[in-house]
Copies of this chain bind each other. A is one copy, B any other.
């Protein structure tokens, strides 16, 4: 076994506790690794899959980050998700056998390729894996509901504050600083995701800085006052999400 292949194993993956192997025995992880031999590099701005692509694989993010988005009939797009290491992409493609959304790397990223038919077969034999798949689906649904709340009822400042706290706590889970991080997405993507315009997002960044809630320079963000920011977000953690 070469070093390159070793690098793909779950055992030495920094996000194994957040990803599919979570809760599996070593023996089951070995089986999972056997169907996850391929790794894929996706450069910043490139697509992992596009809307309409046939569904064959799920993708587990190893490193980097992605946005996923849907495209309406009129060509308009809506960013639906910012995905970080350990998260799965492509789950919404199962029922239609085609990807209804697309995923694009926000920075140079790498993913594990999971052929779904094989994963399905393995899950049939490994209850813990099946449970983990249900769990990931379910968690995803739960989070979407929280975003619906954000878009349905919340003011612009609340939305941005909630996003910053959410991203912060997700980075923290992955072993990075919760208070200082680099946003991998442009303002336009943040705005689109939050149902706002880039101008409004920019103004809010300025306002949050004036209010000493954050310090921001471009995509570099430092949270100075988590309590204050949480008050703006109207909650005590992300949008009740992961954290």
* Nearest chain B CB to A218 CB, angstrom units: 24
* A135 interfacial by beta-carbon distance below 8 Å: yes
Cross-chain contact B130 with A127 (CB below 8 angstroms)? no
- Chain B residues with Cβ below 8 Å from A124 are 124, 127, 130
Interface string of A92-119 (1 = CB under 8 A from B): 1111100011000000000000000000
Residue in B closest to A116 when the chains form the complex, CB atoms: B134
Residue in B closest to A147 when the chains form the complex, CB atoms: B148
- Chain B residues with Cβ below 8 Å from A133 are 134
For the complex, give the distance between the alpha carbons of A79 and B94 in Å.
25
- With A94-B134, A120-B131, A130-B130 as given contacts, are A73 and B235 in contact (CB-CB < 8 Å)? yes
* Nearest chain B CB to A168 CB, angstrom units: 17
Residue in B closest to A146 when the chains form the complex, CB atoms: B70
* A144 interfacial by beta-carbon distance below 8 Å: yes
Q: Which of A138-154 contact B (CB under 8 A)?
A: 138-142, 144-149, 151-153
- With A94-B137, A144-B141 as given contacts, are A195 and B152 in contact (CB-CB < 8 Å)? yes
For the complex, give the distance between the alpha carbons of A120 and B138 in Å.
14
Partner of A145, one of B101, B149, B235: B101
Cross-chain contact B144 with A94 (CB below 8 angstroms)? no
- Chain B residues with Cβ below 8 Å from A92 are 138, 141-142, 145
- With A124-B127, A240-B72 as given contacts, are A137 and B141 in contact (CB-CB < 8 Å)? yes
- Chain B residues with Cβ below 8 Å from A151 are 148, 151-152, 195
Cross-chain contact B142 with A144 (CB below 8 angstroms)? no
- With A127-B124, A235-B73 as given contacts, are A153 and B78 in contact (CB-CB < 8 Å)? yes
Partner of A236, one of B73, B93, B149, B194: B73
* A3 interfacial by beta-carbon distance below 8 Å: no
For the complex, give the distance between the alpha carbons of A141 and B95 in Å.
10
* A91 interfacial by beta-carbon distance below 8 Å: yes
Residue in B closest to A79 when the chains form the complex, CB atoms: B152
For the complex, give the distance between the alpha carbons of A153 and B72 in Å.
10
- Chain B residues with Cβ below 8 Å from A93 are 138
Partner of A149, one of B70, B142, B235: B70
- With A72-B149, A152-B192, A240-B72 as given contacts, are A141 and B234 in contact (CB-CB < 8 Å)? no
* Nearest chain B CB to A228 CB, angstrom units: 16
For the complex, give the distance between the alpha carbons of A120 and B80 in Å.
29
